[in-house]
Each structure stands twice: as C-alpha cells, then as structure tokens.
Amino acid sequence: HLGLHQWEASDSFLRTDFNTDFAKIDAAVGGLITVGTYTGNAPYGNQTLKQEITLGFQPRMVLVWAVVSSSSNFNVSDWSSSNVGLALPGHPQKESDSAYTTLEVTETGFRAGGFQQYLNSSGVTYAYLAIR
C-alpha cells in the first residue's frame, strides 16, 4: 500500500532505500493521529454549553480528558468518568443517567460539553487524541 521496497534474498540494498521507506511509513502513520488541547468555555453552573473543535476531518475516534484546572469549582484528581470522554461516528458519549450527549464526532471534528461529565468547564484544559 505504501510502495515500500520488496527485496529478494539475493538483492543488494542501500541505506537510502531504507530511509525512503521509513519516510513513507512516518508520513502514513503521522497523518493518522491528531493530538491537541482546548480550554473549556462553559461557566460554572452552565456545563451544558458545548464547544466545537474543528480538526478539518471526521475522526474515526476521539478521546478527550481533562488535564489541569484553574477553577476552584472543578477538581481533576484522577481519570474518573466525569472528566474523560470517548466517541465514535454515530456513537456519541452520553451521560450515564440521561440521554444528554457529552461528546460527539462531527464531520469536521468533535463537539464537547456536558452537565455531569465535565468536558467543557471554563478554565479547564482538555487534551484530545483523534484518529483519522
């Protein structure tokens, strides 16, 4: 699929052949994963406000987690279900006790927010990993 060199047992080869192949592999794999951060913008008491994160493509999967909090109203002490989200196209994450969507894949990225699962609290930094 990548046009890599295919040597026979009797073939001689050059280091440049390996470097060319590694560059092709790096380009193919590097384009599959996108990582980044965003800062929540929903004021305390209004966590239902959602934030749209535009990646320029529809991810096959997105994972979001809270990294740090600058708000005294929010404390990230571990990877509890209230500060981590995972969604696939057509399979959004919903709050456990309601039909409210907290993380969903869009055609150009993802949308994050929630009332009990804090994925958009004001002042909180969130990291994400998206797979093409």
Q: Taking all residues of the chain, what is their mean pLDDT, rounded to a whole number?
A: 83
- pLDDT tens per residue across span 37-92: 999 888 766 656 889 999 999 999 999 998 864 454 444 444 455 688 999 999 99
Q: Is the per-residue pLDDT at 117 higher than 60?
A: no
Identify the pLDDT of residue 106: 98
Residues 6 or more apart in contact with residue 120 via CB below 8 angstroms: 40, 41, 42, 47, 49, 50, 51, 112, 113, 114, 126
